[in-house]
Chain A
Amino acid sequence: MKPRYRYTSLILVALILTVGFVLLCSQTGYGETLQDKLLGTGGGFIPIEGWITTAVDWMAINFRPLFDVVTIIVNVVNDTIITILRFGDWHYSGVFVFNIFGTVVQIPLLAGLVGLLMWYLSGSIVTGSAGLVMLWLAANFGYWPETIETFSLTLTSAFLALVLGIPTGIFAAINDTADTIIRPILDLMQTMPVFVYLIPAVLFFGIGPAPGAVATVIFAYPPAVRLTNLGIRGVPTELIEAGESFGCNNIQLLTKVQLPVARPNIMAGVNQTIMLALSMAVVAGLVGAGGLGGVVVRGIQRMRVGEGFVGGLVVVFVAMILDRATSNIGQSTTEEA
């Protein structure tokens, strides 16, 4: 570190400590010792809990239109995915409206297609058949609608997380200041216990898939940003120079050199995002997002061990299907490259 910066940061730390100490002393009330404050026995001296509660309440009222727009976006994406997965079942806000085929046709059709898709993506017929068998089992355990709901909530959240995350990652990769600012925010998003923001999500987005999806997006967004950023920053300098030396402008450099070279990394980010979205989509069952998470939560609440366990098992099936399908996309590009 350069001397100048070292001194600046030292001064800054000293300043913060001084202000903190003065604040501490000034807030120490009658009959209360400084020690009480420091040990927290006096109830803390920065009333941050109150601030947050007030802020959340205020936002729930004043940001209503914004939250409504988000709810609509989530519902549209989610409904579309469910409609596709159920071949013509038409849903609105996660509620079944209309169906052109019967469920009897849907199950083998979707299981078969997923099996074929996995076979194609992984190149292994064993993987393909495993996918088919797992979906068939899920249906026969009696959790077909829940499986589809979890699938669609996961894909919806992963889709939104990627749509937001990849551009953020690109921005963080080409702008160092943005990177410095974004990094701690991502840390916060990834390490903050999820239950903490599930509750405000319900306040903001009501019931249905929306609050679950929003919480899931918050949780699944960081890896998309991080791996895109990492991938682009990891592009060898010589390749950037090659691009520049042939007269690329910044956009061409990004689309013709950086993004394609970073593709294996970005694909790993896609895979991570989908897996994290699934784990969170299950937890979102706590706030009534339905799906397999709902099955597990119900099992726990009513002490039905079997139900909870089977719900969990189907979650594992869904996880394996999603992982095998998406991890192979990344792999096939590295081989090709």
Chain B
Amino acid sequence: MPSIELEDVYKIFGDEPEIALKLLKEGKGKDKIQAETGQVVGVRGISFTIEDNELFVIMGLSGSGKSTLLRCVNRLVEPTSGKIVLHADGTDYDVVNADSETLRQIRETQMSMVFQNFALFPHRTVIDNVAFGLEIQEVNKKERVRKAKELIEVVGLEGFGDSYPNQLSGGMQQRVGLARGLATGAEILLMDEPFSALDPLIKVQMQDELLDLMEEMQRTILFVTHDLDEALKLGDRITIMEAGKMVQLGNPEQIIVNPKTEYVADFVENADPSDVLRSETVATTSFEPDENNRVRLTESAEVELDSKGRPVQGYFSQTPIEIRSLDELSELNEDVILSTGPDTPISKIMRARLTYATTPVIIVRDGVMIGFVTERNILHGLLEKGREDL
């Protein structure tokens, strides 16, 4: 189910946006328009659809218009033109044309926001900060406090309910910000570089916790960041923005493997692909079973397939060995052949290979073997980011 749809959204800062809009559509560049008309192009022609429960990342450097685009979604910034449709509670809201009361209700009940510098209210305790959205919803005090305490626990801040924000560390403050965003029960969470102001270690910890939270709570998240590693780690899909324009949209692997422009390629140049590349992408997928229906994986390792291509038996130097799933390799003291699905990140295969087996890992989809991953495949994948052109 789509949650938010953006169609051809433009934002131009200045008092004569129509002129700039016209010039843009004639194909003039951002800098030229700014020099000619004094109008600043923030966001131009953005269209995408965010699905329910998706974590959608908008990535770009500062000035690329990513925060502006995020603010267009709840109209903290008024879009100059375009369409934004919000699907929630079985209703379609036309966000751009909503009157102020409808907009207020959308913000109150459907969307909440987490800010880069936390934006906690300094005069309110942690509980009252978390309960802010509920206070606006006119939930009674008792219920408000109960709910706030519940969320304070969810984000791991038990016992800090009566503290003031300035008594907390940055990481703790952003937990409060997150709890405040979750408290209203809004389906959609807009996160504007929420972890950028945090120390690297705290940042990684918060990212993990956000992913855990996503498992438990059903939320759609629109996440803005300038950090590629963060985008690759968190995003179900990522869009990369440059100078207000969307240059690529895809899942993390697509971004790494097939950067569409020079800009994106430069971006992903130094990214660590091991968590992003899937086993299928790096696997050797062309293989021929021999007369015994066996596929040779290395000098000494083979795997026997049945008539439908399902792996049935492994061999190591002609000795039959077991085929076992990569996920079950807890107690392993004999040689086995490991199998895994097509979507396993190669970092997981690397870890398994490092500890246990010396044989290749076979890749199985719906029971059928589709390829196998050797050390060479992994190295190739890491160095060339899975690109085949070598």
Contacts and interface: CB of A to CB of B under 8 A. Distances in A.
A binds B: yes
B111 A263 contact: no
Contacts of B119: 236, 238-239, 241-242
Nearest to A241: B76
B122 A246 contact: no
Interface string A36-67: 00000000000000000000000000000000
A245 B119 CA distance: 11
A247 B166 contact: no
Interface string B95-128: 0000000001111110111011101111110000
Given A242-B113, A336-B164, A247 B122 contact: no
Contacts of B121: 239, 242, 256-257, 260-261
A263 B120 CA distance: 16
B130 to A, nearest CB: 11
B340 interface: no
A249 B104 contact: yes
Nearest to A244: B76
A337 B133 CA distance: 20
A2 B111 CA distance: 38
B117 A245 contact: no
B74 A337 contact: no
B136 interface: yes
Nearest to B123: A260
Interface size range of chain A in the complex: 20 to 34
B189 to A, nearest CB: 11
Interface centre among B117, B121, B133, B166 (most CB of A within 10 A): B121
Interface in B9-67: 38
B123 A241 contact: no
B195 interface: no
A238 to B, nearest CB: 4
Interface string A63-90: 0000000000000000000000000000
Given A242-B121, A247-B136, 12 more contacts: A238-B119, A239-B119, A241-B71, A241-B113, A242-B115, A242-B132, A246-B136, A248-B104, A249-B104, A256-B135, A261-B122, A261-B123
Interface of B: 38, 71, 74, 76, 104-109, 111-113, 115-117, 119-124, 132-133, 135-137, 164, 166, 180, 184, 190
25 contacts: A2-B38, A239-B119, A239-B121, A241-B76, A242-B115, A242-B120, A244-B107, A245-B111, A246-B112, A246-B133, A246-B180, A246-B184, A247-B104, A247-B105, A247-B106, A247-B137, A248-B136, A252-B136, A256-B135, A260-B121, A261-B121, A261-B123, A336-B123, A336-B164, A337-B122
Interface of A: 2, 236, 238-239, 241-242, 244-249, 252, 256-257, 260-261, 263, 333, 336-337
